[in-house]
Amino acid sequence: MAFINCKLCGELVNTDNDILCKSCAKKMNNPYEKIKDYLFFHRGADIFEISKATGISKSLILKYIREKRITPMDK
């Protein structure tokens, strides 16, 4: 059994499972978390920027905005 450091947070991970620890892998698979993370570092980014940077479709981003789960134009 070999261990490596998680690519995102540096936590020790069993390489048999992944290159990411469980919490980071979960985060990466969750588009909402991905958008939230992106917006944290890129305040004021518009839908096109978010979609391009995260690879998440604009319609899904719009859905989150409509549900008020994210607020991209917040300055």
H or E element in which residue 50 lies: helix 47-54
Residue with tokens 């450091």: 5
CB nearer to Zn ion: give 4 or 9: 9
- Residue from 21, 45, 50, 61 binding Zn ion (CB under 5 A): 21
Compute the distance between CA of residue 29 and CA of residue 14 in angstroms, rounded to an integer. 19
Q: Does 24 interact with Zn ion (rule: CB under 5 A)?
A: yes
Considering only residues 35-74, where is the footprint of Zn ion by CB under 5 A? none
Binding site for Zn ion (CB under 5 A): 6, 8-9, 11, 21, 24
